[in-house]
Amino acid sequence: MIVVMKLGSSDEQVAGVIKRIEAAGLKEHLSRGVERTIIGVLGRTFPELRDMLEMLPGVDEVIPVSKPYKLCSREFHPQDTTVKVGGTTIGGNEIVVIAGPCAVENEQQLLETAKAVKAAGATILRGGVFKPSTSPYHFRGLGEPGLQLLAQIKKETGLPVITEVMSPHEVELVASYADILQIGARNMQNFNLLEEVGRSGKPAMLKRGLSATVQEWLLAAEYILAQGNQQLMLCERGIRTFETYTRNTMDISVIPVIEKVSHLPIIADPSHGTGKWYLVAPMALAAAAAGADGLMIEVHPNPDLALKDGAQSLNFGNFQQFMSQLRPVAAAVGRSVASPPLEVKS
Amino acid sequence: MIVVMKLGSSDEQVAGVIKRIEAAGLKEHLSRGVERTIIGVLGRTFPELRDMLEMLPGVDEVIPVSKPYKLCSREFHPQDTTVKVGGTTIGGNEIVVIAGPCAVENEQQLLETAKAVKAAGATILRGGVFKPSTSPYHFRGLGEPGLQLLAQIKKETGLPVITEVMSPHEVELVASYADILQIGARNMQNFNLLEEVGRSGKPAMLKRGLSATVQEWLLAAEYILAQGNQQLMLCERGIRTFETYTRNTMDISVIPVIEKVSHLPIIADPSHGTGKWYLVAPMALAAAAAGADGLMIEVHPNPDLALKDGAQSLNFGNFQQFMSQLRPVAAAVGRSVASPPLEVKS
Amino acid sequence: MIVVMKLGSSDEQVAGVIKRIEAAGLKEHLSRGVERTIIGVLGRTFPELRDMLEMLPGVDEVIPVSKPYKLCSREFHPQDTTVKVGGTTIGGNEIVVIAGPCAVENEQQLLETAKAVKAAGATILRGGVFKPSTSPYHFRGLGEPGLQLLAQIKKETGLPVITEVMSPHEVELVASYADILQIGARNMQNFNLLEEVGRSGKPAMLKRGLSATVQEWLLAAEYILAQGNQQLMLCERGIRTFETYTRNTMDISVIPVIEKVSHLPIIADPSHGTGKWYLVAPMALAAAAAGADGLMIEVHPNPDLALKDGAQSLNFGNFQQFMSQLRPVAAAVGRSVASPPLEVKS
Amino acid sequence: MIVVMKLGSSDEQVAGVIKRIEAAGLKEHLSRGVERTIIGVLGRTFPELRDMLEMLPGVDEVIPVSKPYKLCSREFHPQDTTVKVGGTTIGGNEIVVIAGPCAVENEQQLLETAKAVKAAGATILRGGVFKPSTSPYHFRGLGEPGLQLLAQIKKETGLPVITEVMSPHEVELVASYADILQIGARNMQNFNLLEEVGRSGKPAMLKRGLSATVQEWLLAAEYILAQGNQQLMLCERGIRTFETYTRNTMDISVIPVIEKVSHLPIIADPSHGTGKWYLVAPMALAAAAAGADGLMIEVHPNPDLALKDGAQSLNFGNFQQFMSQLRPVAAAVGRSVASPPLEVKS
């Protein structure tokens, strides 16, 4: 932490800052520049200290220097984390494709889709049963019966399943059916939910909030890791910008950024990231070229009849075509696409 | 809902859209312009229809026309809603001042502050005991013992209390101590929490999310009203912009906007709205001039020793001075400042 | 400037940074913390140094400490700047009201409006003749004949005039007619224009860019001041946010912020700031309560027939009513509203 | 254009709107829904009409339906535009690489860089001589002597050159040296500059503004095309978001969006798009995978000594390595990388 004094701050004001630093059990390091006096704070600082020092007379600003996140930082944990689900490893050399409908609607829809995406090469099945919705008047998912359907189709196809959990008290229920717990963008800072998912020990995927910075996202991840759960991956799903042509603006640059600053795997969701089905394939290829460890794609048998987010869903033919485009792009950046389990496990 | 066809869309494509509209039990209204064909959808549309129509061949875009919120809309409910807490009415002609520490720290801090803000003219006491925090390593509040302190100080001073609730399963606990349930900015779209607060029937205050539009905010309010709880007020606490000098950018314009589109009272929180104590008074006066029904101000005996958000807290002297500035501004726009209860109720 | 080294950076890397600092004729100040080594740079740094140091091995980030603006900073120039135009002083105790049509359309429209706003208490007449327009197919102003109209109406009413200049090579022309040169939001970083306005020596008003930070705005002001022109005022006219109900989000907090960090007067433009006429009065009152030195209001004889921005223009009656609301608010914060010149000067 | 009436608007109000539509020489198309009355406007509308109708009593909002841009729209011009410079075609099947220093510093720097990027496969040389700079105290380019250097190195290497022009009155000068005129992000809405570049008839590249929407960008392009200059390409260079880790957020999704809505070629600039050299290669590969027609990369012999933007520049070795990664990615999406001219033209 560095305290920048105002131009013309008095010796008495400087002494006041030093006194407060020492009262906190820390040491100071004084540096008088041409224009300004700067006081470094040495020792293990604590976050509240920033506000406390900034209030003192003569202080212009206080600049934190340490990174606020530790457990998810690559500086403290240089080797890559891999998440293991069924026979699939996320965060290794293979790019993992997660596919399925936005929302589980019924058995036929889910089974057909699971078979189609598996045949095309997806290794994990997605399907929402608790759906966050901006309006109370929209479809909000099947709830627990949807979880049962996911478990059944998992058994029939051998595909592990990922689904969203929205409340701390539902974590246990969802964890009893799902292989990966998804935390949605709107819940990125639902701190009680983060801790409950952390305590569950289940593999989890944390989506970036609509307007979250990388630092806030990693601090949210820190909540989960701090509970002892290391099986965590991050997912970019588009941020809010002024552009209205797309539903969100998918931030591809966050993929190499996360790879640099954190050891956690990074997944890209071009369906929510763009909101338009015809942008999904180019953006998924871009994410793969930029180094994504996985892709999450919405697929529906009849997107124009979907109960949720049809406009951003691929139909079976488009998904199959996309998978055939993905393989050469993965190869061009020295990676391969993970293969689905050959047989049904039981 | 209006369907705009692409330039050069075929008759067959137009017929396809009409067929889908009729299949949904609705009627169409065709309009062929110089450049484009437009199809109005008549009848009670449902939200999923938009995506469904947008996927059809020849469709350029689908524009919703109805407002998605009803219960909180002034169109459907022209008269102002007032929220009643203790002897105070929020949403009437008087401007109500809510004041107190960001976080409850201990009995002395809370009691001293409560007495000071009451003496200066505040009518409701604020104090957080469950504190959302971006980092898991920050102070996160006293929890239930803090609620007990709030109840005790309420008894001693006669001031009703407002405090934040963060999880659906804690609503019952918090509601047993507090007079008003606060839903924080990060939880504006925690839909399970909204519904639980709605079911509680308690007076509630819903803060605007950091990047929420007015429409999203009103839809979140709609979740609460839809559970039968009409005792709701809204609170602007600053949105995220590119500016870094302030912690957030307080959107004063939302005050007259809410007054125009909704019947719910609107409160302004210049402490979170700016993040700097020396901006609190000018922004609170601005909010009053723009028509706010209430102001929520953080006050602390020693801001430079506060465990939370000291940099945005007024000390007792500054708060008293602010209150003396507020009264003439309120009078200048034809309002007055509510008075605190004269005696302790028991 | 402070260089923060990476965790585990080597002595050799630290030595490399020091060598580069010394090569630039500056001195270093080394500080080894518990986690990180920090190197302060002492002496007159230059902006390019930041990038240069950030590229060196072992460097995590480089944090500038000095403010990049000097001439417009209150730290270097504590007393308020006042701008004098005709008999009016902007930046003193009086709040100055600038009013008139968005665009000059014809003599009758301008003369009627000038008389009406003067009668209601405005002291400066606004009117655009070179209009920036997002689309090449919109009305773009009368050009030089519009300047002649402004000069004529100024003569008839005694009101000084402000109008926008859009290109460096038009500064001389516009300056020969106008009393104040306005630089629009889209031109805030048109650096050649800024310098030409600086060289003209004319009183000027610099609008904040749609997404500009305070620092960028002040650096743009610095371009003008650096040419020796001190007669500059700033104007907040709304920034771009995610909200679509209003055309822009007017940032009232920037008023006390500018007052704190700069000595330049600050004007508020609630017409562009909101885009809706019924929000103009509440936001103008809010700006006055927050400390604005002036208000710029669009007024038109028939807003629903205006060639430009009718939706945000007040008609004569609404403007008069607003002025009667403004006076008590100004008084409530210890200011008064400037009066127009009593007689026509010639 | 569609006029949405307020709930409960009167017949008289509807008649008032219709009267105004007819007065403008247009026709109306009335549609009474369950909740609201909607009035379609038929015929060639004009932009000012929106504000005019929105002001009328009983009107809730006016929604434009026609796209405001025509000349750059794919709807009106389905086939791709290609820009031809020297022997290179931009907008065809080949991906074109533009490379060179951010700013021209001196002959040796420019010549060395030109040779190195040509050897690695770049086909066009970039180099700024008029540099926009947020601060008046930063390096702002060599000016005309820099243009002469560009012309000289072009002669020596055979590489066509692109450089920025910042003012309308400098267009003629810059056009006499450069092969492509670049309009920078801060000048995207410098309408006089756009028209002058349009009149010059020179190939041009228009960068997206820092907070511009696609529609605003295309309307800026429309200014150039409206002057008869069709040799235009667009360039995404990152938009402003809340993220501070990167300098800007590069919006890759705009690449397939532009391809869908416009016939103009689209270039990506990952140097400005990210601001960090180690993000340039992954983001350039992502842009290629998403369909970019060209890439613009900053290269410097010694980035840590660059006078401008060293932190985002590749050195020669990194650029060469990037080019070897680009070729397989281009091939994976069915494209190839353009080759530089084999011999020097004279």
Q: Are B118 and B339 in contact (CB under 8 A)?
A: no
Chain A contact for B243, CB < 8 A? Answer: no
- H helices then E strands: how many in chain B? 11, 15
* Pick from D215, D210, D238: nearest CA to D296: D238
Kindly report the number of other CB atoms within 10 A of residue C239's CB atom: 23
pLDDT per position as a tens digit, B243-252: 999 999 999 9
* Cβ within 8 Å, pair D311-C166: no
Cβ–Cβ < 8 Å for D293, D264:
no
Position A340 scores a pLDDT of: 84
Q: Mind listing the pLDDT tens digit for each residue in C14-57?
A: 999 999 999 999 999 898 877 789 998 988 888 789 989 998 99
Average pLDDT over chain B reads 94
HSE-up of residue B80 (Cα within 13 Å, Cβ side): 15
- Please tell me which of the candidates A51, A134, A210 has its beta carbon nearest to residue B310: A51
pLDDT of amino acid B65:
84
Helices C277-289/C316-332 angle, 10° precision: 20
* Cβ neighbourhood burial of D23 (10 Å; 0-12, 13-18, 19+): exposed
CA distance B214 to chain D (A): 16
What does the block give as tokens for A340? 């689905």
What's the CA gap between A24 and A6, in Å, rounded? 22
The b/e string for C11-37 (b: 16+ C-beta within 10 A; e otherwise) is eebbebbbebbeebebebbebebebbb
Q: What are phi and psi of B157, to 5 degrees?
A: -110, -20
For B210, name the nearest residue in chain D, comparing CA atoms only: D242
The pairing of strands B59-63 and B83-85 is: unpaired
| Residue C141 distance to chain D (closest CA, Å) | 13
Residues C82-115: pLDDT tens digits?
999 999 999 999 999 999 999 999 999 999 999 9
B147-168, pLDDT tens digit by residue? 999 999 999 999 999 999 999 9
Domains of chain B: 2-63 (3.30.70.1140), 83-337 (3.20.20.70)
The whole-number pLDDT of residue A343 equals 61
Residue of chain A with shortest Cα separation from C9: A75
Q: Quick check: C345 pLDDT over 60?
A: no
Question: Nearest residue of A to residue D247 by CA position?
Answer: A253
Please check the confidence at residue B346 and state whether its pLDDT lies above 50.
Answer: no
Q: Does B309 touch chain A (CB under 8 A)?
A: yes
Span C263-268, mean pLDDT?
A: 98
Check: CB of residue D275 under 8 Å from CB of residue D243: no
The whole-number pLDDT of residue D346 equals 46
How far apart (Å, rounded) are the C-alpha atoms in residues B34 and D42?
7
Torsion sign, CA atoms B209, A138, A183, A248 = negative
Q: Which residue of B has its CA nearest to C247?
A: B253
Residues of A in contact with C70 (CB under 8 A): none
Nearest in space to B177 (alpha carbons), one of B166, B193, B196, B163: B163
Q: What is the pLDDT of residue A104?
A: 97
Distance CA C234, CA C257 (A): 12
- Of chain D, the end-to-end C-alpha distance in Å amounts to 55
Neighbours of C344 (CB within 10 A): 11
pLDDT band, very low/low/confident/very high, at C64 (cuts 50, 70, 90): confident
Task: Read off the pLDDT of residues C182-217 as tens digits, 9 standing for 90 and up.
Answer: 999 999 999 999 999 999 999 999 999 999 999 999
Residues of C with CB below 8 A from B210's CB? Answer: none
Angle between helices D214-225 and D191-200 (to 10 degrees): 40
**Interface contact flag, D250 A250, Cβ < 8 Å:** no
Task: Say which residues have a Cβ less than 8 Å from residue A217's Cβ, sequence separation at least 6.
Answer: A188, A206, A208, A209, A234
Given this model, what pLDDT does residue D48 score?
83
Q: Tokens at residue B100, please?
A: 């107190």
Q: Are A57 and A208 in contact (CB under 8 A)?
A: no
pLDDT of res. D20: 93
**List of E strands, chain C:** 2-5, 27-32, 37-42, 59-63, 83-85, 88-90, 94-100, 124-126, 161-164, 180-183, 204-207, 232-236, 266-268, 294-298, 336-337
The mean per-residue pLDDT over the stretch C220-249 comes to 97
- pLDDT over 70 at B181, yes or no: yes
Strands of C2-5's sheet in order across: C27-32, C37-42, C2-5, C59-63
C-beta separation of C181 from C165 below 8 A: yes
Cβ <8 Å between D36 and B66: yes
Pairing of strands D204-207, D232-236: parallel
Q: What is the mean pLDDT of residues B75-93?
A: 95
Please say whether the beta carbons of B155 and B169 come within 8 A: no
pLDDT of residue C35: 77
Nearest to B184 by CA among B208, B204, B160, B211: B208
Provide the sign of the torsion angle of the four alpha carbons C340, C104, C281, D16, taken in this order.
Answer: positive
D 71-90 near B (Cβ less than 8 A): 75-76
Give the confidence band of D343 by pLDDT, cuts at 50, 70, 90.
Answer: low
A211 → chain D, closest CA residue: D242
Rounded to 5 degrees, what are φ and ψ at C38?
A: -125, 140
Question: pLDDT tens digits, residue range A111-125?
Answer: 999 999 999 999 999
Q: Does D136 touch chain C (CB under 8 A)?
A: yes
Following DSSP, what letter does each residue of B110-173 receive, concatenated? HHHHHHHHHHHT--EEE-BSS---SSTTS-----HHHHHHHHHHHHHH---EEEE--SGGGHHH
Query: Position A262: which residue type?
Result: S
Q: Per-residue pLDDT averaged across D132-153, rounded?
A: 94
Tokens 């650029």: give the residue.
Answer: D319
Structure confidence at residue D344 as a pLDDT band (50, 70, 90): low
Residue D345, pLDDT above cutoff 80: no
**Cα–Cα distance between A197 and D288 in angstroms, integer?**
38
From A47, A166, A187, residue closest to B135, measured CB to CB: A47
**A250 chain-D contacts, CB cut-off 8 A:** 252-253
Alpha carbon of C24 to those of A147, B195, D136, D302, D307: distances in Å? 65, 62, 21, 16, 13
Q: CB atoms < 10 A from the CB of C325, how many?
A: 18
Could you tell me the two tokens for C32?
A: 């080894």
Query: Of D346, D269, D344, which is closest to residue D312 (Cα–Cα)?
Result: D269
Number of CB atoms found within 10 A of residue C93's CB: 11
Q: What is the CA radius of gyration of chain A?
A: 23
- Which of B139, B135, B136, B186 is CA-nearest to residue B165? B186
Which one, of A2, A10, A9, lies nearest residue A64 by Cα? A2
> φ, ψ for residue C207 (rounded to 5)?
-80, 150
**Separation of alpha carbons A38 and A31, rounded Å:** 5
* Nearest Cα residue to A264 out of A121, A87, A66, A76: A76
Question: Of A85, A27, A62, A80, which is closest to residue A345 (Cα–Cα)?
Answer: A85
Token pair of A17, please?
A: 């800052």
Distance of alpha carbon A207 from alpha carbon A188, whole angstroms: 7
More confident residue, D308 or D200: D200
Low-confidence stretches of chain A (pLDDT < 70) are: 342-346
Q: What is the mean pLDDT of residues B307-331?
A: 96
- The answer to whether the CB atoms of A251 and D255 lie below 8 A apart is no
Q: Which residues of D touch C55 (CB under 8 A)?
A: 277, 303-304, 310-311
